[in-house]
Every structure is written in C-alpha cells, then in structure tokens.
Structure 1
Amino acid sequence: MKKIVIAIDYHPTSEKVAETGYKLAKKLGAQVCLLHVIADTRYYGMEHRTFLGYEGYNYPVNPEMDSQIENVAKDFLVKAALHLDNKVATKIKKGETAPCILEYANEWQADLIVMGTHSHSVLEKLFMGTEATKVLEKTQIPVFMVPVKK
C-alpha cells in the first residue's frame, strides 16, 4: 500500500479517524491525503471544541458564500495536515460525499480509503443510509473503517 486517502469531515470524531489512518499509513510507509468533501453547508456553522488543531468554529459562516465555505475547508485541512505531519497532502472536493470520496480515491490511485463510522439513529440509517455504507457498496478500493462511537 503506497497511497491512503483519509476522508474527514467537521465532526470532532475526525481527529480519531485522521490519527488512526495516519498511524496505519506510517506503519505501511504510505503517502497520505486528507480529503474533505464540501457537501452540506449546514455543518460549517456548527460549534465544536478545537480538534486537529482547528479552531475555525469561532466565527459564523454564511452558507450562501461558496468562496468563504471553501476558505474554511482549506483552513481546516491545512490545520489538520499540520496536526499530523507537514508532508500530508490535502484535497477538497465538492458534491455528494460518497461519490466524491470514491472519485478522488480512484483519481489519486489510492490503495486504501480510511473513514469513520458515525453513529446515526436507526431511523436515519433506514431512510438515508450512511456515507460509509454508500462508499462500501460502490468501492473497488479497500476501505478501513474507524469506529468512532463512544
């Protein structure tokens, strides 16, 4: 395994996903790319504690300002990458989360996709599925799932 894509979002559990994926990559001597998909702008205004060295939740974001959202995403990924190692690559994609993860993993010729398993309600899983499930259903690249449920 030479290339590992680690998909992270704006939830604090991304810290565990990123650190676990990075440790695995270091053991394998693989390159790492942190991937963030801009899909649902409602997450950009949430308030969370600082994680992965990112404190960007301290200011409000107007969801209608696409360039501002992209700047927030870039800031998030830069801080997250520096939290792990200054040699970690980053990538932002826009669109539906699962298809963007799969598209970029193929584009970058990744050998492994690392992502977390957020805990959702049974009803939410039933009606909407999860991004992890959507990736698993369509991938041709192995996926390493990091459980983040407490």
Structure 2
Amino acid sequence: MYKRIVLAVDLGETSAAPKGLSEALELAKAWGGSLRLVNVQPVVPATFMEYVPADFDAEQTKRALEQLNELVAGVDLPADRKSVAARAGGIYHELLEEATEWGADLIVVGSHRPVMSDYLLGSNAKTIVRHAQCSVLVVR
C-alpha cells in the first residue's frame, strides 16, 4: 500500500528516536516500502546574516545530514530502502516539496499538544495535512 514513506524528523527533539519512526518503519516493513528521513533547517533571517559565518547554511545542512545518517543507520531496513534528506526553508513547504519530488505516498509527521500560539498561528502538522498530495499520518 505505502511504498515511499517520508518521515519528518525534528533534530531538536530530545528523545532518542524521532516521533513517528516506529510507525513509519512498521508500515515500510509491512508493505515492502522505502523510508526517507527528512529534516528541514530554518533559514537565518537576512537581518542576522552579518552576525553568522559565511558558510553557516552549508555547515547547518552538513550537521543535519550527519545526524540523519546516524539515525538511519539504526533503522532496520536494507540500505537500498532507506535514505535521508536535509533542506532549508519553511518546514511544511520544504517537507511537502521533498515528498512530491521523491514521489512519496505517505508522510509521517509528529505532533505535540497544542499551545496558544498554535491556535493563533497554526501548526506545521495541520498545514502538511491540509496541503499534502498524498496520505499523512500524524503521530502524537
């Protein structure tokens, strides 16, 4: 059923395994699918660019890829069925773009208990669900 699964990974999360990893892995195993771990790094606002090193974005992406590769190494799938991607920009926009480009048929995204700012601004999970062109599994 699901052959290409994208898992949104928040590298700032303190837990050992990303939220939704066990669910995404279970589905990938059950259907013989592939799993892609994706992290989106925020872009530094232009007003702060003079305060960060010139290679800040490249270093941030490099660190994200290193962390994703560590995570994916522990995933119990054959090497040809697991991959990683690091992008920079708005979380939901970049995640949806990666899912479309990779041809995903399921996006797995973690969610948290809403706080007041989520009610006023909206959450990334909600926006991903609303705009995705494939199925989305939201894991609390």
Give the TM interval when normalised to the shorter protein. Answer: 0.7 to 0.9
What is the Cα deviation at residue 40 of structure 1? 5.8
Question: Aligned pair 1:36/2:27, yes or no?
Answer: no
Q: TM-score, normalised by structure 2?
A: 0.80
Map Cα deviations across residues 55-93 of structure 1 (whole Å, 9 max, x no partner).
Answer: xxxxxxx96522221121011100110121462100111
Question: Aligned pair 1:92/2:94, yes or no?
Answer: no
Secondary structure at the aligned position of 1:115 is classed as strand
Aligned partner of 2:71 among 57, 61, 80: 80
Give the root-mean-square deviation of aligned CA atoms: 2.0
Q: Could you tell me how far apart the structure 1 residues matched to 2:19 and 2:65 are? A: 20
Secondary structure at the aligned position of 1:15 is classed as coil
Are the aligned partners of 1:37 and 1:97 in contact in 2 as well (CA < 8 Å)?
A: yes
Percent of aligned pairs with the same amino acid: 27
| 2:28 matched residue in structure 1 | 25
Amino acid at match of 2:31: L
Secondary structure at the aligned position of 2:120 is classed as helix
Amino acid at match of 1:102: L
Secondary structure at the aligned position of 1:84 is classed as coil
Are the aligned partners of 1:19 and 1:84 in contact in 2 as well (CA < 8 Å)?
A: no
Amino acid at match of 1:27: A
Map Cα deviations across residues 2-56 of structure 1 (whole Å, 9 max, x no partner).
Answer: 1111111121355242222112211111011111111267xxxxxxxxxxxxxxx
Q: Could you tell me how far apart the structure 2 residues matched to 1:120 and 1:76 are? A: 27
Q: Bigger shift: 85-94 or 63-72?
A: 63-72
Larger-gyration structure (1/2): 2
- Distance change >3 Å, CA 28–CA 15, structure 1 → 2: same
Deviating 4+ runs (over 3 angstroms): none
Question: Aligned pair 1:2/2:9, yes or no?
Answer: no
Are the aligned partners of 2:8 and 2:108 in contact in 1 as well (CA < 8 Å)?
A: yes
Aligned partner of 2:62 among 54, 60, 71: 71
Amino acid at match of 1:128: L
| 2:120 matched residue in structure 1 | 127
Are the aligned partners of 2:61 and 2:87 in contact in 1 as well (CA < 8 Å)?
A: no
Q: How many residue pairs were aligned?
A: 126
What is the Cα deviation at residue 126 of structure 1? 1.7
Amino acid at match of 2:57: D
Q: Could you tell me how far apart the structure 1 residues matched to 2:131 and 2:93 are? A: 9
